[in-house]
Amino acid sequence: MKNTRKFTLVLFIAISMLLVACTANTADESPKDSDANSNSNSEKKTDIVIAVTAEPTTLMGSMTPDFSVYSINKNIYDRLIDYDGKGNFTPKLATEWKSVDELTWEFKLREDVKFHNGAPFNAESIKYTIDYMLDPANKSVYGSRWKTNLEELKVIDDYTVQFITKTPMAGFLSRAVTDFQFIEPGYVEEVGVEEASNKPIGTGPYKLKEWKKSEYLVFEANEDYWNGAPEIKEAKVRFIPEFSSRLSALLSGDVDLIASVPVDSMERIESDSDSKIISGLTGRPSQILLNTFKEGPLQDVKVRQALNYAIDVDMLLENVMNGQGKKQLGTLTPINLNYTEVEGYGYDPEKALELIAEAGYKPEDIKLTFNTTNGFSPMDSQVTQAIAGELEKLGLDITIQQVEAGVFMERLGSQKIDDMAFMTFAASTDAESYLSFLFAPTGTYRWHNDPELSKEIGATFNELDPEKRQKNFSEIQHRLHDEAVSIPLWTTNDIWGGRKDIEFKPRFDEILEINDIKRGE
């Protein structure tokens, strides 16, 4: 009997140890994304899982300004120069630059840069990329606009190039920041365009390890990066369009960082003990466009000025946007080169009624259709409802029309929006970039019908003298304010949700640079 009890005890201990071992092995085989390849909890993690809203259509450099492509490519490719959002251009692949004459810009290149495959980056890399952009067969959006501006790309020596333009381009440096992502000539020639688009080779801080279409891509650190090896050694970027799904993934620990958090969902993240909100001011201006291509009361400047006085922007910013932004007074934002601060209109409903009367209208006679999207711009539907309510308090008749994002942009591009529209534009480096899209004669998205003003704006782009250029842009910004071409609202915050140990500062242009992300212990 004693031997039987002894045998039973030994058998019980053996089975218990086996179960513990099996449980441990099972746990090791099924880690969450955010735990994979990371160190123990007591050490600093070197991996990260990020959820973004959209998947890029290509990873070939210098192809398109589409944000889903541009934001990802920033980690694979380096810029020629950068812009800090405070009026300064900073070195990247170029260490020096100068305007040789009114048609020529010269750049000196770094001599210690290599592509991910070990090939050297040099002047020939730049020439190959520019030639690739300009070839219509490659359908580069950047190439289509440089074809009208660039006369020649001249290689002076292995590490010096000159861009020779057809006409003076005072805003050349701003375009150099955004348009160039340099590709490796030998690699593209060897594998072809399709392969290079799916498995890109750049000079940036991260190499593409894997791209599983419609699901995720994985970056690995470029340990030979010219500016030092990144702290984050591996980054998985998951494509999760729906915010509710991104939120669930963050709160469950499946991802470490999520993009595009609506202001009305911030509290849910902040209430989670393992998560936090990370936000920073962008250069994206939100405003109400007042269409003067359409016949009606908005063609009268006094009515447009009245609408500016009728909106309590401070109240909307606090109550609808939860304070996540900064009030905007004029058409441009402080991050734009050549920005000038204007006085703004302020909230004065009595003044609004006076101007409506001076224009020969009764409030109830003004019937306006107000276009908006739903989720295309931050809090677009909610902001539109609140603004319509403000105008209706004065007796105006406002009809809100919600439009699908693609249709909305097509209408804006063809001057076919209704009387008013809520829009948040992308951040621009300088006044020229912004105004050229919205108010120049060839502008892509125009809503203010004033040919004389458009002509003046277009002429200002060719002014090279810095003082005269600033004076001209200052006058234009005051003119746009006085003409009340829109109702400026605010520049928005870029809002992310992250794990407690995530540290990074969102950029003004909302580009996600993984190399800027740090993880605590």
The string of pLDDT tens digits covering residues 13-63 is: 333 333 333 333 333 333 345 444 444 455 789 999 999 988 999 999 999
State the average pLDDT over residues 512-516.
94
326 backbone φψ class: left, alpha, beta (φ>0; ψ -120 to 50): beta
Q: Where are the domains of the chain?
A: 47-55+204-280+494-519, 67-190, 282-492
Q: Which of 152-161, 167-176, 373-382 has the highest mean pLDDT?
A: 152-161
Give which of 272, 506, 77, 206 is closest to 517, Cα–Cα: 506
Q: Is the pLDDT of residue 106 over 80?
A: yes
Neighbouring CB atoms inside 10 A of 39's CB total 12
Local confidence band at 394 (pLDDT 50, 70, 90 cut-offs): very high
Homologous superfamily, domain 47-55+204-280+494-519: Periplasmic binding protein-like II (3.40.190.10)
CA dihedral 332, 334, 339, 343 (to 10 degrees): 70
Q: Is the pLDDT of residue 204 over 60?
A: yes
Looking at 424-511, list the stretches that DSSP marks H as alpha helix, in order from N- to C-terminal side: 431-438, 451-460, 466-482
Looking at 86-171, list the stretches that DSSP marks H as alpha helix, in order from N- to C-terminal side: 123-134, 141-146
Q: What is the pLDDT of residue 466?
A: 87
Q: What are 276's strand-pairing partners?
A: 498
Which sign does the torsion angle of CA 299, 301, 303, 305 carry? positive
Q: What is the pLDDT of residue 43?
A: 77
Q: Is the pLDDT of residue 485 over 70?
A: yes
**Coil, helix or strand at residue 375:** coil
Contact 132, 183 (CB under 8 A): yes
Q: What is the pLDDT of residue 93?
A: 98
Q: What is the pLDDT of residue 18?
A: 34
CATH topology of domain 282-492: Dipeptide-binding Protein; domain 3 (3.10.105)
Q: What is the pLDDT of residue 344?
A: 94
Contact 259, 247 (CB under 8 A): no
State the average pLDDT over residues 456-462.
85
Homologous superfamily, domain 67-190: Dipeptide-binding Protein; Domain 1 (3.90.76.10)
How far apart are the C-alpha atoms of 337 and 322, rounded to whole Å? 28
State the average pLDDT over residues 467-474.
94
The DSSP symbol for 112 reads S
3-state DSSP helix/strand/coil % of the chain, to nearest 5: 35, 25, 40
Query: Using one digit for the tens of pLDDT, what is the confidence trace for 283-337?
Result: 999 999 999 999 999 999 999 999 999 999 999 999 999 999 999 999 999 999 8
Local confidence band at 148 (pLDDT 50, 70, 90 cut-offs): confident
Contact 194, 174 (CB under 8 A): no
State the average pLDDT over residues 229-240.
97
Residues 227-242: b if buried by 16+ CB within 10 A, e if exposed? eeebebbbbbbbbbee
Give which of 227, 210, 259, 196 is closest to 79, Cα–Cα: 227
Give which of 498, 205, 270 is closest to 506, Cα–Cα: 498
pTM to 2 decimal places:
0.82
Length of the chain: 521
How far apart are the C-alpha atoms of 445 and 460, rounded to whole Å? 19
Q: What is the pLDDT of residue 20?
A: 36
Identify which has the larger pLDDT, 27 or 89. 89
Neighbouring CB atoms inside 10 A of 32's CB total 13
- Per-chain mean pLDDT for the chain: 90
Contact 337, 431 (CB under 8 A): yes
Identify which has the larger pLDDT, 440 or 365. 365
